[in-house]
Amino acid sequence: MKSMHNELIKAIYELMHHRKDIYFLSSDFGAPALDALRVTFKDRFINVGIAEQNLINLSAGLALEGFTVFAYGMAAFISTRAYEQIRTNLSLHACFKSLNVNIISVGAGLSYDKSGPTHHCLDDISLIRLLPNIELFSPCDWVTTKKLLGYCCDVSCPKYLRLDRYPQNALYAENNEYNFKKGYHQMASGRHGAIISTGIMTHNALHARQILQEKQIEFAVFDVFNLKTFDALSMYMAIKAYDFILTIEEGFTGLSGLDSCIFNLLRMDSNQKTTFMSLGIKNAHIFELGRMDIHGKYGLSPEKIANKIIEVSKKNGCVNQR
């Protein structure tokens, strides 16, 4: 098990030996891998302190001078406290000039489960998707996150990387080829329906699929890691034939999240008869502690996901063989 942000910082550290145009900025936020970077590249590492607004301001300024910038902070604060700066200095300025600022946002969803609602980050997908000119990535494991580095350096635009805090098992092989513009990958096939997930919830989706398989119900699983500029037509063609589609995300539902992405795709065909349902967090603050307990209460545990699929499938007759 490895953490997304630690593996990404290690890769950035190695790249900084060869790329003199890379700057790494932190809002007084640490990581084991950051120690070596901070010492080795004192001239290109800046700790702005607990000042997320200035983190974005400085990042934008460096990017305007042609540098590639990684801005590192806690998700709950970098996405909200600095939202005006992201909107004005990145989204707006990107209309006129190339800005390669990569926001490394650590603590997506309920990553800081023990810290309570002040540290939860359930709204960042909605917030970032509202802004023009910013790409939004939500990887499910450290392998995908590490592979994102090449894309971040090659594609010069503002990007928001939504990373989980805790170490996770790898779901992808390290030699897997990614198409970040396509933005999704079908991880498993199925004839009765599809689960479409993003980030940490892809782990739960695959576990739920195993539970369903034991009951002879076969669901495909799609991992969506690009939530903004993914290939909509390709995704639509991949999912349009399913009778039942369920989206799951560790974020607010019905508010421009993953569910909105997929629902809008299905609307491309007015004759589409797919049963569509989304699971996530309703628009409310969560005061319970413990991620697994919260997942259980809000229907996001693998067992609850599988039970919901069985319930809806039986009701709507969606498990007829295709």
In this predicted structure, the answer to whether residue 322 has a pLDDT above a threshold of 50 is no
Tokens of 8: 């990404």
Calpha distance 303→284 (Å, rounded):
23
Here the CATH number for the domain that contains residue 72 is 3.40.50.970
Do 209 and 283 lie in a common domain?
yes
- How distant is the alpha carbon of residue 288 from its chain centre? 23
Do 115 and 196 lie in a common domain?
no
Calpha distance 31→211 (Å, rounded):
36
Evaluate whether 248 touches 300 at the Cβ level (below 8 Å). yes
Model confidence pLDDT, tens digit, residues 114-155: 999 999 999 999 999 999 999 999 999 999 999 999 999 999
Model confidence pLDDT, tens digit, residues 8-17: 999 999 999 9
Do 93 and 190 lie in a common domain?
no
Calpha distance 301→284 (Å, rounded):
19
In a domain, 170, yes or no: no
- Which of 132, 163, 194 finishes a domain? 163
Give the per-residue pLDDT at 318: 64
In a domain, 281, yes or no: yes
Model confidence pLDDT, tens digit, residues 86-104: 999 999 999 999 999 999 9
Q: How many domains does the chain have?
A: 2
Computed on alpha carbons and rounded to an integer, the radius of gyration of the chain in Å comes to 20
Here the CATH number for the domain that contains residue 293 is 3.40.50.920
In a domain, 196, yes or no: yes
Q: What's the domain range around 93?
A: 4-163
In a domain, 321, yes or no: no
Element (H, E) at 135: strand 135-137
pLDDT band at 31 (very low <50, low <70, confident <90, very high): confident
> Measuring CA to CA, which residue among 224, 174, 235, 177 is closest to residue 202?
224
Do 156 and 288 lie in a common domain?
no
> Measuring CA to CA, which residue among 203, 75, 226 is closest to residue 138?
226
Tokens of 178: 């990614």
Q: Can you give the length of the chain in residues?
A: 322
Do 116 and 215 lie in a common domain?
no
In this predicted structure, the answer to whether residue 271 has a pLDDT above a threshold of 80 is no
Model confidence pLDDT, tens digit, residues 155-210: 999 999 999 999 999 999 999 999 999 999 999 999 999 999 999 999 999 999 99
Q: What is the DSSP letter of 250?
A: E
CB-side neighbour CA atoms (13 Å) of 97: 14
Calpha distance 260→256 (Å, rounded):
5
Q: What is the DSSP letter of 109?
A: B
In a domain, 155, yes or no: yes
In a domain, 25, yes or no: yes
Do 111 and 214 lie in a common domain?
no
In a domain, 284, yes or no: yes
Do 27 and 159 lie in a common domain?
yes
Give the DSSP per-residue string, 223-241. Answer: EE-BSSS--HHHHHHHHTT
Taking residues 30-48, report their average pLDDT: 94
Phi, psi of 151 (to 5 degrees): -65, -40
In a domain, 26, yes or no: yes
Euclidean distance between the first and final Cα of the chain, in Å?
38
- Which of 129, 163, 197 finishes a domain? 163
Evaluate whether 222 touches 239 at the Cβ level (below 8 Å). yes
Q: Which residues of 221-252 are buried (b: 16+ CB within 10 A; e: fewer)?
A: bbbbbbbbbbeeeebbebbeebbbbbbbbbbb
Give the per-residue pLDDT at 32: 87
Calpha distance 150→173 (Å, rounded):
17
DSSP H helices in the chain = 4-16, 34-40, 52-64, 75-78, 83-85, 124-129, 142-154, 201-213, 232-239, 258-266, 291-297, 302-316
Q: What is the DSSP letter of 120?
A: -
